[in-house]
Amino acid sequence: MPPAKPLNLMNPVVLAYVGDAVFELLVRQHLAARPNHKPDELHRGAVRFVSAKAQRALLEKLQPHLTEEEAEIVRRGRNAKSGAPPKGADIRDYRHATALECLFGWLYYAGKFDRMAELLRLTELGEPSAGADAAVHRKEDDR
């Protein structure tokens, strides 16, 4: 379902809210596509990518590859007033994680699924699984 507002008018925290789910789904699909599906290994693997600290590191890797428009979305997400970070999370890590999630929310709503896959290939996730690509493109088919 498309958002009620144009993307450039959406609150970055709302984009981050959706981006959090999109990014976690892509990470989970990547992990599920690998052999050995022990629940504790899946969980530990997911935490390696979805924690605030890990997301900040991923964003730092991606920043040189972002377009001006994407960099602006990241800046808006980083500067958004998203509340207090979770217990034990560094405020800078949390703001950068919000920025990454904002970017993925924006890419999702903009229908830039190929760009999401391209950015994921630039991270430690490596080549996204076919399942990840299929899930991302299912949204495109719904339009």
Query: How many domains is the chain partitioned into structurally?
Result: 1
Q: pTM to 2 decimals?
A: 0.81
Residue 71 corresponds to which tokens in the numbers above?
């960099």
- Domain membership of residue 136 (yes or no) is no
Share of the chain above pLDDT 90, in %: 47
Annotated catalytic, 20? yes
Please report, for the domain that includes residue 19, its CATH number.
1.10.1520.10
Q: How far apart are the first and last CA of the chain?
A: 8
* Residue 64 counted as domain residue: yes
The verdict on residue 112 lying in a domain is yes
Which range of residues forms the domain containing residue 86?
A: 7-122
- What are 53-81's pLDDT values in tens digits? 989 999 999 999 999 999 999 999 999 98
Between helix 91-110 and helix 12-32 the angle, nearest 10°, is 80
Q: Is residue 131 part of a domain?
A: no
User: Out of 20, 93, 133, 142, which one is annotated catalytic?
Assistant: 20
Residues 5-39 pLDDT 10s:
888 889 999 999 999 999 999 888 888 888 777 77
